[in-house]
Amino acid sequence: MPPTIASLLADRPLGLRLLTTRGPAGDTAREIRWVHTTELNDPAPFLEGGELLLTTGLRLDDPRFDLEAFLSGLVRAGVAGLGFGVGLNNAAVPERFVAAAEAHGLPVLEVPKATPFIAIAKSVSKTLAAEEYRAITEGYRTQQELVKSALAAEPQRSLVRSLVRGLGPGAWAVLAAADGTVLHSAGPVPPEVDLAPELARLRGRSLPSSSSILTESGHVEVHALGAGKRVMGFLAAGLLGRTTGPDTTGRQILAVALTLLTLGVEQPTKDGTVAELTLRRAVVRLLLAGHVDAAHEAAAELRVPLPPEPIRVSRDSVREEAVPERMFVLEEEGERVLLAPAAFDGFAGGVSDAVGYADFGRAYRQAGEALATVRRTGRSPVFFAESGSGLTTLFGDQVVRDFAAGVLRPLKDADRTTLVPTLRAWLAHNGQWDAAAAELGVHRHTVRARIARAGELLGKDLTAADSADARMELWLALRVQEGQ
Most confident of 99-113, 271-285, 352-366: 99-113
Confidence of residue 398 (pLDDT cuts 50, 70, 90): low
Given this model, what pLDDT does residue 255 score? 83
CA atoms within 13 A on the CB side of 320: 0
pLDDT band at 410 (very low <50, low <70, confident <90, very high): confident
More confident residue, 460 or 276: 460
pLDDT, residue 252, reads: 80
Handedness of CA 284, 254, 188, 227 (dihedral sign): negative
Task: Using the predicted structure, report yes or no on whether residue 219 has a pLDDT greater than 80.
Answer: yes
pLDDT over 60 (residue 370): yes
Q: How far is CA 121 from CA 3, 51, 52, 475, in A?
A: 11, 11, 9, 43
Q: pLDDT digits over 229-279, tens only? A: 778 889 999 999 888 888 878 888 888 888 788 766 555 444 444 567 777
> What is the per-residue pLDDT for 475?
84
Spell out the domains of the chain, with CATH numbers in brackets. Answer: 5-126 (3.40.1390.20), 150-268 (3.30.450.30), 273-387 (no CATH), 395-483 (1.10.10.2840)
User: How far is residue 463 from each of residues 87, 211, 454, 466, measured CA to CA in Å?
Assistant: 55, 19, 11, 8
**155 alpha carbon, distance to own chain's centre:** 25
Average pLDDT over residues 388-405: 60
What pLDDT does residue 239 have?
Answer: 92
- Res 66: pLDDT: 93
Q: What is the pLDDT of residue 237?
A: 93
What are 132-144's pLDDT values in tens digits?
777 777 777 787 7
Q: Which amino acid is it at 302?
A: L
Partners of 184 in the β-ladder: 175
- Cα of first residue to Cα of last residue in the chain, in angstroms, is 46
Task: Judge contact between 312 and 340, C-beta under 8 A.
Answer: yes
Nearest-angstrom CA–CA distance, 313 and 287: 12
31 pLDDT exceeds 70?
yes
227 pLDDT band, cuts 50/70/90, is low
Rounded CA gap, 468 and 63, in Å?
54
Average pLDDT score, the chain: 84
pLDDT at site 97 = 95
Q: What pLDDT, on a 0 to 100 scale, did the predictor assign at position 83?
A: 96
User: The pTM is what?
Assistant: 0.49
The pLDDT value given to residue 234:
92
Q: Which amino acid is at 388?
A: G
Rounded distance, CA 105 to CA 81, Å?
9
Which residue from 37, 36, 28 is spatially nearest to 3, judged by alpha carbons? Answer: 28
156-186: per-residue pLDDT in tens? 888 899 999 988 889 999 999 888 899 999 9
d(CA 157, CA 146): 11
State yes or no: pLDDT of 16 exceeds 50: yes
* Percentage above 90 pLDDT, the chain: 31
State which amino acid sits at residue 117: F
pLDDT digits (tens, 9 = 90+) for 411-452: 877 766 788 888 888 888 888 888 888 878 788 888 888 888
310: preceding bond cis by omega (within 30 degrees): yes
Summarize pLDDT for 304-331 with one digit per residue, the tens: 889 999 999 999 987 766 766 667 888 8
CA distance 446 to 431: 14
The answer, yes or no, to whether residue 397 has pLDDT greater than 60, is: no
